[in-house]
Structure 1
């Protein structure tokens, strides 16, 4: 066979293009990648509905309906016909101003709209700051373990070295600050905290956050504070934004509407520089954030246009109801774990939508590890739970409790039945 010009067709070896292997590996270390594998192992012919206790999207459940004020604001923004054009790459001015005012309520200083950058969800905010910090070839960033694997995936893609510090389950998942100092070096540029905690459901106390700030200042690094679950604390510890300590250490706050307003599909987030001393600007971080946003897609304009009304008009009783339901579900998780010998929840979740549960494989017959446990559970009981290895802790489980309370209770009954069948006879 010949081509039109008489030459032989090109062999596979002669083509000059190929896929990016970093992207192929990225799907293996994301929560969605792991959950997709578990979905494929569901028992397809079972009569019982699937109970999704592995992902952080409670929006399908009646108890977690989005705020009517938010829905009304979006409809009004669409119908205004004023938001059909392109946005500024850093965000619509009214949206930036609204976020600055919203976050300033909890701070000792006032944020400016210029401190706020609108993003397509918190994920793009994460991607922006990780990409910005990957400027130097030897730089490294410190990440919590367990944590949110998107930070690792993005760092790996940007060829930014990452190192892990542990969260301590025996101390309500506080940061091991001695470990932070031990693994940092002259090339460390930042550390990440997630408050309220994903995957642990912890809420950091004021004094612990202050120690984190002081440690970061000592090391000369900035703090990236992922606060996508802010205002969902329902235990004894009130939520404290890391920006409170912006005068001690520069803080980059990441957030979004997704979780607190139960609208993860809206993909509207923000990146905020809490830096009253101007350190981030003088070191080129702010200019680099702007540069990143100049080459990426902007968040949807009508959602940005609706944001001031959403932040201003959502009534407190909406959040009170959500937190009350989350507290009920957290109690179910904690109490039901006590009834199952092979799993232990070291501390009751007090915020976010997740709890970490430790597996005791010595009590189970034929279960090799947490991935095997979750795969067999999906096959036999149609319950999806995330294996802990996906968030950095092997032979643990991350359990999402932001589901309908009755469904959560049913899910734990199925987990208990599964474990009883698998218990070692001796």
Structure 2
């Protein structure tokens, strides 16, 4: 039997797959994900400790029994499965009844009517982001991203060789976008700016006035807006949720969203891209064709979930949504109040939407804590509490806390954080 060249004393080229540089962009992008950072924090937990781990760093509320999808949504999925009409492949852009239902759902909040042809179904909002970043990633182009922001955008731009430029969100102004920095960052190669409203990670909800200013700024710069509205309608403060699409007569808007958060089913992986294009600018640029072409070479959301969507939207009662908003409002109030009691952490803005709050670490009050990652790892080791380091979101020496959980667990976690800060407090002179 013949051996390989090396075994026979000959020489051969190194295996190409072993070259370290081959996967470098993917490895770098993957290391920036929230999951990767939280895994690092989790690794600091003392597994032999007597207390359960309390995770208030991720964005999955389904770990708490009080955050459950509506019965109507579950029944719609069962009915779709038992109908045996949704066992095959779906069209790449999504099944027609689901696209029509989502167009009607989004149009409730708009001064015009979206059509089914404006909607493209995706495997969750994450795939919607993937699609948009991929089709915009032309050589030499750049995109404007909020800081702090959802790190998937930065990961995807890095992997796609699309330059990201970060504009600041201003804590003392309710995390509004710094539009002066937007104008300073944009140039002729800027293809879009991203707005996340209601905000992950800030818990803010933008006013009509601020959204109008964003639209006018984008129009002035000649760039489209990608409106990440995955937390649409999860607004429980003084400001209602207003979709960016109402300004589509001023600027082209691509809205990305999903049923994941409002219906509390992140694992069902049903998202969408909606083109809000009253002036036909996106279609003239053939963005619709690019979206369809990219979706043609990617995976589709599960067909039976698509089949259930019309009934999920039609049958879910308003009192279900009000119940969830009340739960979020109460837990946000608890979180904000407990942070105010804790020396070494400050919260510049009370959360008004989504499921998160950003809190700033005052390291001058904490003895021996080097930065936000050090804080989170020590907290995990000493108190078995997991929070997300702000550096994962572009905000060094901040932390993100998720308050979408049952009140006793949240209160327990926040009390442990308070104890941790007291134990590490510097003695006052």
Question: TM-score band (shorter)?
Answer: over 0.9
The aligned runs of 1:270-419 (5 Å cut-off) are 270-419=272-421
Identify the residue that residue 145 of structure 2 maps to in structure 1.
143
Question: How far apart in 2 are the matches of 1:408 and 1:12?
Answer: 59
**1:11: Cα distance to partner?**
7.3
The aligned runs of 1:5-404 (5 Å cut-off) are 8=8, 14-18=14-18, 19-134=22-137, 136-404=138-406
Q: Which sections of structure 1, spanning at least 5 residues, go unmatched? A: none
Contact 2:6 2:12 in 1 (8 A): no
Question: How far apart in 2 are the matches of 1:93 and 1:105?
Answer: 19
Cα deviation per residue 1:366-398 (whole Å; 9 max; x = unaligned)? 110000000000011110000000111000001
Change (3 A) 1:5 1:353: closer
Question: How far apart in 1 are the matches of 2:6 and 2:294?
Answer: 46
Change (3 A) 1:7 1:419: closer
**1:400: Cα distance to partner?**
0.5
Larger mean CA deviation between 115-124 and 27-36 belongs to 27-36
Question: How far apart in 1 are the matches of 2:418 and 2:282?
Answer: 50
TM-score, normalised relative to structure 1: 0.98
**1:8: Cα distance to partner?**
3.6
Change (3 A) 1:4 1:30: closer
**SS of residue in 1 equivalent to 2:267:** helix
Number of positions where the alignment pairs a residue of Structure 1 with one of Structure 2 = 425
Contact 1:120 1:268 in 2 (8 A): yes
Contact 2:5 2:12 in 1 (8 A): no
Identify the residue that residue 3 of structure 1 maps to in structure 2.
3
Change (3 A) 1:100 1:366: same
Larger mean CA deviation between 33-42 and 248-257 belongs to 33-42
Question: How far apart in 2 are the matches of 1:26 and 1:177?
Answer: 27
Larger mean CA deviation between 13-22 and 210-219 belongs to 13-22
**SS of residue in 2 equivalent to 1:424:** coil
Question: How far apart in 2 are the matches of 1:127 and 1:138?
Answer: 19
Contact 1:2 1:9 in 2 (8 A): no
Could you list the structure 1 runs, at least 4 aligned residues long, displaced by more than 6 angstroms after superposition.
9-12
Contact 2:125 2:258 in 1 (8 A): yes
**1:15: Cα distance to partner?**
1.4
**1:9: Cα distance to partner?**
7.3
Change (3 A) 1:184 1:9: farther
**1:13: Cα distance to partner?**
5.7
**1:236: Cα distance to partner?**
0.1
Contact 1:51 1:407 in 2 (8 A): yes
Question: How far apart in 2 are the matches of 1:181 and 1:191?
Answer: 11
Question: How far apart in 1 are the matches of 2:399 and 2:351?
Answer: 14
Question: How far apart in 2 are the matches of 1:121 and 1:17?
Answer: 31
**1:401: Cα distance to partner?**
0.5
**1:7: Cα distance to partner?**
6.1
TM-score, normalised relative to structure 2: 0.97
Change (3 A) 1:174 1:6: closer
